[in-house]
Amino acid sequence: MMSRGKARAHANIALIKYWGKRDEELFLPMSSSLSLTLDSFYTETEVVFDSKLDRDYFYLNDKLQSEFQTKKISKFLDLFRIKKDIKYNALIKSVNYVPTAAGLASSASGFAALAAAANVASGLNLGERELSIYARQGSGSATRSIYGGFVEWREGNSSENSYAVPIDDAKWDIGMVIVIVRKSKKEISSREGMKRTVDTSPFYNAWVKSSKKDLMEIKKAIWDKDLEKLGAIAEANSLRMHATMFGARPPIIYFKPETIQVMEIVKDLRSDGIPCYFTMDAGPNVKIICRLSQSKIIKDRLKERFEDEQIIISGPGPGISYL
Amino acid sequence: MMSRGKARAHANIALIKYWGKRDEELFLPMSSSLSLTLDSFYTETEVVFDSKLDRDYFYLNDKLQSEFQTKKISKFLDLFRIKKDIKYNALIKSVNYVPTAAGLASSASGFAALAAAANVASGLNLGERELSIYARQGSGSATRSIYGGFVEWREGNSSENSYAVPIDDAKWDIGMVIVIVRKSKKEISSREGMKRTVDTSPFYNAWVKSSKKDLMEIKKAIWDKDLEKLGAIAEANSLRMHATMFGARPPIIYFKPETIQVMEIVKDLRSDGIPCYFTMDAGPNVKIICRLSQSKIIKDRLKERFEDEQIIISGPGPGISYL
């Protein structure tokens, strides 16, 4: 007995950040977030439930992963197995497609693709909203990768009403330039960073409050196709997130010297009349939101300081697709 | 008719930061602060009230300053002139002594030396506490430069009770290594930065509250001569101040790539068992608090990335002296 499913999901970059959980187990966030799905980064995953397997096997980029690495995947698949009373183990094959070994977090596209593949393999056949609830329980940011374009993850107050909603298809002149400052694994995981911030930063409550306001304003800016406004809100939101970390004890600093360099270049580009805005997640890499039609100019400027392979241009990407 | 006074005052570096005024006119701060006076940086100023002068003349480092520059000095001297009913104009000669053209703020030592010189020239002969109230009205941080060693500036709630108090003479193994990252004038003045932060940062109230706690704790650490504790509090306090600026709209970022570099070196030194801690003010330069006996080791490490003249060692300095 066996059943299979295969799906693709794209990465997303938050413009209004997800930073802090109100429920660690269910991945319920402290506040809603909003992202842009990207076309340049995606994950393809196949799930096969097979009665002949003695345990779950997880291959990432054609490499068999350790039992420790597989545990998280197994736990996630259990959500589907329990729901459909599936007793079989699974073979999971996942491939991350990124232009270079970017070191960008792949947990969003990874868990979204896994959820979609398991959705088919299990025969559960959930709709997208339901699927986003499942993806959320693998990784918070995966919630948003179910949809393409601009996507809001509504915080909700229970597992059933914390899901993603598409906001705008982003089929206008919008894109991102991603600068890979460091490939190395970060010293403090997002999970740990969030927890320490929520527990110790005196700025955390004010962040949640101001982020709610940012979300309302950025949605209006998106619907108005107002890049300047959208970008300014995203940049400020990202800095406020990092401010909450600066306030933690001990403080959390993800900035590297090159992070600041990119921020300075972005500022210079704006002075030159090119609207572009930076956003940083829990790591030193910088994502620049801009007009897709101007992304080449921005990349050229960045190449004065960074290597070609460190700079990746991406347009808006689609939601999950079944393969 | 003429009368003269001359004095020297040393710079100070805040470990618990002064960031935000509750009264712009009187320089009343939102919260108390605490600093270490430094021996390597000081200002010597002479004030001569002279009936023959047609206006105030202000020489800084032997260079006659513009009338615009002189205005602020004149306004400050008026505090003394009004008090003692002096009708004469003044000749002010001020010299900043710094190891290099460091670009470090000299307003603290500047206004403390000016206040002390005017104190003598006017015949007002205030005691040190009173003098710190006067100095405060030239520049907030000048309040603390009246005394040597560790100094607290008590916020108070009126001009009369917002003054400096010596906390500890710092005659133990403590010092600072100052890294001059950029000499250029900063784009946003402290005054403007403070105001924007108070007006727009959602983190400001939490900062004031947490800073009060830091102050209590750092005083205990000073009295215990506990460098590790003192340093950790100072570093976190400084980062929280910068976090409030990240939260402002538009955001204020004083960090340069080299600022982060120094922070990383400090972290590495600590990993190597050398207790040292960074603090930054409203600018990109970094001050490292450490044992004076280990300051050479720290400087040597910094010299792998910075020029010798960018790195200045200083021990604790004395309060004002009359010359």
CATH number (domain holding residue A248): 3.30.70.890
What does the pLDDT look like over B234-269, one tens digit per residue? 999 999 999 999 999 999 999 999 999 999 999 999
B167 and B193 in a single domain? The answer is: no
The pLDDT of residue A253? 96
B203 pLDDT band, cuts 50/70/90, is: very high
User: What is the C-alpha separation between A321 and A117, in angstroms, rounded?
Assistant: 9
What range defines the domain where residue B242 resides?
175-314
Pair (A151, A16) in one structural domain: yes
Give the tokens for residue B160.
């009369």
- Mean pLDDT confidence for A68-92: 96
The token duo for B226 is: 């506990």
Same domain, A179 and A120: no
Phi and psi dihedrals of B276, rounded to 5? Answer: -155, 150
Q: What is the dihedral of CA B241, B43, B135, B151, to 10 degrees?
A: 50
Is position A322 within any domain?
Answer: no
| B202 upstream amide cis, omega within 30 of 0 | no
Q: Which amino acid is at B295?
A: S
Q: Is the same domain home to B246 and B288?
A: yes
> In the prediction, which pLDDT does A296 show?
98
Inform me whether the pLDDT recorded for A187 exceeds 90.
no
Condensed to tens digits (0 to 9), the pLDDT of residues A135-175 reads 999 999 999 999 999 999 999 999 999 999 999 999 999 99
C-alpha to C-alpha distances, A221 to A184, A218, A232, A260, B224, nearest whole angstrom? 35, 5, 10, 26, 54
Burial of A300 per CB tally in 10 Å (0-12, 13-18, 19+): exposed
Q: In the listed set B153, B171, B189, which residue is the last one of a domain according to the structure? A: B171
pLDDT value at position A101?
Answer: 47
Residue carrying the six token digits 């704006």: A270
Digit-coded pLDDT (tens) for A22-59: 998 889 999 999 999 999 999 999 999 999 999 999 99
- Contact check, Cβ <8 Å, B202/A240: yes
Q: pLDDT tens digits, residue range A216-255?
A: 999 999 999 999 999 999 999 999 999 999 999 999 999 9
B17 touches B130 (CB < 8 A)? no
Residue A323 lies in a domain: no
Both tokens assigned to B21: 């005024």
Strand pairing report for A63-64 and A28-29: unpaired
Type and span of the H or E element at B71:
helix B67-84
- H helical segments located in chain A: 67-84, 107-121, 128-136, 190-200, 204-223, 227-246, 257-271, 295-302
Q: Which residues of B touch A212 (CB under 8 A)?
A: none
Same domain, B11 and B158: yes
Helices assigned H by DSSP within B162-278:
190-200, 204-223, 227-246, 257-271
Indicate the helix (H) or strand (E) that contains B300.
helix B295-302
Residue B183 sits in the same domain as residue B310: yes
Q: Which residues of B touch A (CB under 8 A)?
A: 202-203, 205-207, 209-210, 232, 235-236, 239-240, 242-244, 246-247, 249-251, 253, 255-261, 263-264
Which helix H or strand E contains B297, and what residues bound it? helix B295-302
Q: How many CB atoms lie within 10 A of CB A230?
A: 26
**Whether residues A19 and A130 fall in one domain:** yes
The SS3 call for residue A213 is helix
User: Distance (Å, rounded) from C-alpha A37 to C-alpha A12?
Assistant: 4
Q: State the Cα–Cα distance between residues A174 and A225, nearest whole angstrom.
A: 9
**The domain boundary residue, chosen from B117, B145, B171:** B171
Which amino acid, one-letter code, is at B235? E
Instruction: Kindly identify which residue of chain B lies nearest to residue A260, measuring between CA atoms.
Output: B257
Whether the CB-CB separation of B290 and B274 falls below 8 Å is answered with: yes
All residues of chain A having their beta carbon less than 8 Å from the beta carbon of residue B31 are none
Nearest CB neighbour to A256, from listed B250, B251, B260: B260
Pairwise CB contact (< 8 Å): B246 & A240: yes
What value, to the nearest 5°, has the Cα angle with vertex B30 and ends B26 and B31?
A: 120
- Predicted confidence at residue A105, as pLDDT, reads 62
A88: pLDDT strictly greater than 50 = yes
Q: At a CB cut-off of 8 Å and minimum separation 6, what does A216 contact?
A: none
Q: Give the three-class secondary structure for A189.
A: coil
Mean pLDDT of A93-114: 81
Which chain A residues have any C-beta within 8 angstroms of a chain B C-beta?
202-203, 205-207, 209-210, 232, 235-236, 239-240, 242-244, 246-247, 249-251, 253, 255-261, 263-264
Residue A36 three-state SS: strand
Reference B94, options B71, B70, B75; nearest CA is: B70
* Cβ separation A247–B209 shorter than 8 A: no
A301 domain-assigned: yes
Q: Which candidate in B188, B201, B205, B240 is best for mutational testing of the A interface (most A CBs within 10 A)?
A: B240
Give yes or no for a contact between B116 and B109, defined as CB atoms under 8 angstroms apart. Answer: no
Phi, psi of B37 (to 5 degrees): -75, 140
Give the integer Cα–Cα distance in Å for B36 and B167. 10
pLDDT in tens, B129-183: 999 999 999 999 999 999 999 999 999 999 999 999 999 999 999 999 999 998 7
Neighbour-count burial of B205, counting CB atoms closer than 10 A to its CB (0-12 exposed, 13-18 middle, 19+ buried): middle
- The 10 Å CB-count burial string (b at 16+, else e) for A141-177 is bbbbbbbbbbbbbbbbeebeebbbbbbbebeeebbbb
Q: Is residue B323 in a domain?
A: no
* Nearest CA-CA partner of A185 in A45, A297, A271, A283: A283
CA dist., res. A152 & res. A34, Å (int): 4
The confidence score (pLDDT) of residue B101 equals 47
**Alpha-carbon distance A113 to A91, whole Å?**
14
The CATH number covering residue A59 comes to 3.30.230.10
Identify whether B256 is part of a domain: yes
Give me the residue from A236, A240, A257 closest to B257, CB to CB.
A257
> Do B105 and B185 sit in the same domain of this protein?
no
| Per-state percent for chain A, helix, strand, coil, to nearest 5 | 40, 25, 35
Give yes or no: residues B161 and B180 share one domain.
no
Of the three residues B136, B171, B206, the one that is the final residue of a domain is B171
For residue A219, tell me if it sits in a domain.
yes
Taking contacts as CB-CB distances below 8 angstroms, the residues of chain B near A263 are 253
Res B318 pLDDT > 80? yes
Asked if A207 and B206 come within 8 Å (Cβ–Cβ), the reply is no
Token pair for B54: 């047609």
At residue A94's C-alpha, the angle toward residues A93 and A99, to 5°, is 145
pLDDT surpassing 70 at residue A5: yes
Arithmetic mean of pLDDT over chain A: 95
Mean pLDDT to the nearest integer, A208-219: 98
Tell me if B60 is assigned to some domain. Answer: yes
Residue B1: strand pairing partners: none
Q: Are residues A191 and A162 in the same domain?
A: no
- What total of structural domains would you count in chain B? 2
Residues 6+ apart with CB under 8 A from A132: A143, A144, A146, A147, A153, A163, A164
Task: Provide ipTM, 2 decimals.
Answer: 0.93
Contact B69, B58 (CB under 8 A): yes
CB distance B83 to B124 below 8 Å: yes
What residues have CB less than 8 Å from A151, skipping those under 6 apart? A12, A34, A35, A36, A37, A144, A145, A164, A165, A166, A167
